[in-house]
């Protein structure tokens, strides 16, 4: 363990400590060491967005981020969206609006859409499309993904108003 570094961060609300090689990518730590397999390995060059996670309030591509860069961070993966057995409004909307087909891009899309709605509670279609432009989907044509984000935004706004 001479070359390993102990990295501590909060993952989906839980403190984790993990010993990693200095050059280990976050996506590998999440999937192989911490068994959070929601973020997918797609292109490994940051082009597809399947590996997107939320780190310290920013969407990041975990295939190009070193785990050691995350020491002390607050991190959210798609697994952290569901709370107490209840799907997040985005997850429910993706289901209801048919915002997924094969599902490979879905974890990254959900995590990116979550950050968008944190930054802009009522985005326009154009703002949604721009926001998710770093996350590629080969199946859906994006229309139902956009509808799902809009539906989730409406549901979250209605919940906040109560």
Question: Domains in the chain and their CATH numbers?
Answer: 5-80 (3.10.20.30), 89-161 (1.10.150.120)
What b/e readout covers 120-155, taking b as 16+ CB neighbours within 10 angstroms? eeebeeeebeebbeebbbeebebebbbbbbbbbbeb
**More reliable by pLDDT, 3 or 26:** 26
Predicted confidence at residue 162, as pLDDT, reads 73
Quickly list DSSP for the chain. -TT-EEEEEEETTEEEEEEE-TT-BHHHIIIIIS---SSPP--SSSSS-TTEEEETTEEEETTSSBGGGGTT-EEE-GGGTSBTTB--HHHHHHHHTT--SS-SSHHHHHHHHHHHHHH-SS--HHHHHHHTTTS--SSS-SHHHHHHHHHHHHHHHHHHH-
Rounded CA-CA distance 85/36 in Å is 17
Give strand pairing partners of 54.
59, 76
- Its sign, for the CA torsion 53, 39, 134, 146, is negative
Tell me the residue length of the chain: 162
Rounded CA-CA distance 153/130 in Å is 16
How far CA 89 is from CA of 14, 55, 83, 156, in Å, comes to: 22, 20, 11, 7
**More reliable by pLDDT, 160 or 133:** 133
Prediction pTM value = 0.94
Render pLDDT for 85-96 as a digit per residue (tens, 0 to 9).
999 999 999 999
Would you place residue 127 in the very low, low, confident or very high pLDDT band (cuts 50, 70, 90)?
very high
> What mean pLDDT value characterizes the chain?
95
Rounded CA-CA distance 32/9 in Å is 16
């Amino acid at each position: 363990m001479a070359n390993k570094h102990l990295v501590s961060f909060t993952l989906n609300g839980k403190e984790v400590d993990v010993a990693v090689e200095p050059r280990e990518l976050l996506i590998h730590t999440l999937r192989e060491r911490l068994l959070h397999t929601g973020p997918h390995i797609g292109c490994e060059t940051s082009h597809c967005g399947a590996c997107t996670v939320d780190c310290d309030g920013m969407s990041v591509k975990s295939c190009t981020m070193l785990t050691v860069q995350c020491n002390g961070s607050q991190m959210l993966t798609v697994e952290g969206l569901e709370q107490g057995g209840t799907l997040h409004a985005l997850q429910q909307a993706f289901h209801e609006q048919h915002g997924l087909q094969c599902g490979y891009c879905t974890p990254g899309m959900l995590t990116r859409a979550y950050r968008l709605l944190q930054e802009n509670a009522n985005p326009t279609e154009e703002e949604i499309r721009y926001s998710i432009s770093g996350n590629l989907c080969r199946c859906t044509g994006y229309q139902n993904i956009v509808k799902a984000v809009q539906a989730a935004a409406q549901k979250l706004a209605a919940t906040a108003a109560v």
